[in-house]
Amino acid sequence: MLPLVVSEIVRETPSIVSIRLAAPDGTALPPWQPGAHVDVQLITRHERQYSLCGDPADAHGYRIAVLREEFSRGGSHYIHSFLRVGSRVWVRPPRNLFTLSDAPAYHLLAAGIGITPILAMARHLAAEDADWRMTYLVRRREDVAFADDLAALGDRVTIHVGAEAGRLDLAELYAGLAPGTAVYACGPQRFVDALDDLARALPGGANLHVERFEPKPREFRPNEAFTVICARSDTTVEVPAERSMLGALHSAGVPVEGSCLRGICGSCEVTVLDGIPEHRDSLTGDDASMMMYPCVSRALSPTLVIDA
């Protein structure tokens, strides 16, 4: 992990702060593209995932934004209450599971703190002179984060304030999109679920890409024990029904990373060489995929062979 320091803290709204992280000696950081996120570990040992919302051209700093959560698991509370300029944090290099694909047109949708990856995408599309629009949903006018940055993007950005305009009609928004439009969306679970539920209403050739803060609600069969054969480390690991595959791998000394432990960050990705994985994550779009996330996913076959 990269040891970085907080070089700037800006209060964007009453409940959101943005934070710039930099190397202590000012050296350049690993590059990134819009949609990327970093795993940040605090001195409290809390590790959380945050989308990068700055400018990829800023080679010497990563900017993230953090919402003060009423029912914080510890990270949000610490950042808002105790983090200061000069504080040390540890950061895994950027990963991107929310990349922009080529499309004739784009519509970016953000709700609340979901503006973070969407803002970086908007800047990129504006610089590329692409055909794009953004709709940003907030409850109140004072909840608009990065107001100056959004204003600089001009009239392609629409801010929908729920307290003033009521609930946004997502079906109507979908109906107004041109065929082939790529829709990129990020926000709270209810917002993303509503977009998913309406995805069939998208015009021809249009497609929806979402990033989630919470795992997608799904039901699975009861846990069963299975065996994992790690090809590179020549290790066989038994995974009992009551334990995660990632936990069993760690206990056996197999070096597989893990951060969110909820199937949303992608840090524990492994390749399945043989066997049938049961995908329980919120990242996999194809049940036949041989890439799996062992923090939550399991096996449909008695044995999995993985590249680890």
What are 116-133's pLDDT values in tens digits? Answer: 999 999 999 999 999 999
pLDDT tens by residue, 200-232: 999 999 999 999 877 777 789 999 999 999 999
Kindly report the CATH number assigned to the domain that includes residue 50: 2.40.30.10
Q: Establish if 180 belongs to a structural domain.
A: yes
CA distance 220 to 222: 6
pLDDT digits (tens, 9 = 90+) for 252-299: 999 998 888 889 888 899 999 999 999 999 888 888 999 999 999 999
Task: Give SS3 for 212.
Answer: strand
Residue 47 structural domain: 2-91
Number of domains in the chain: 3
pTM of the predicted model as reported, rounded to 2 decimal places: 0.84
Residues 109 and 208 placed together within one structural domain of the fold: yes
Shared domain check, 195 and 110: yes
Of 212, 243, 259, the residue that ends a domain is: 212
- How far is residue 22's CA from residue 89's CA, in Å, rounded to a whole number? 10
Coil, helix or strand at residue 23: coil
Mean pLDDT along residues 86-113: 96
Q: What is the DSSP string of 24-69?
A: TT-PPPPP--TT-EEEEE-TTS-EEEEE--S-TT-TT-EEEEEE--
Last residue of a domain, one of 91, 120, 138: 91
Beta partners for residue 229, in sequence order: 236, 305
Which CATH number goes with the domain that contains 172?
Answer: 3.40.50.80
Question: Contact 283/263 with Cβ under 8 angstroms?
Answer: yes
CA distance 40 to 281: 21
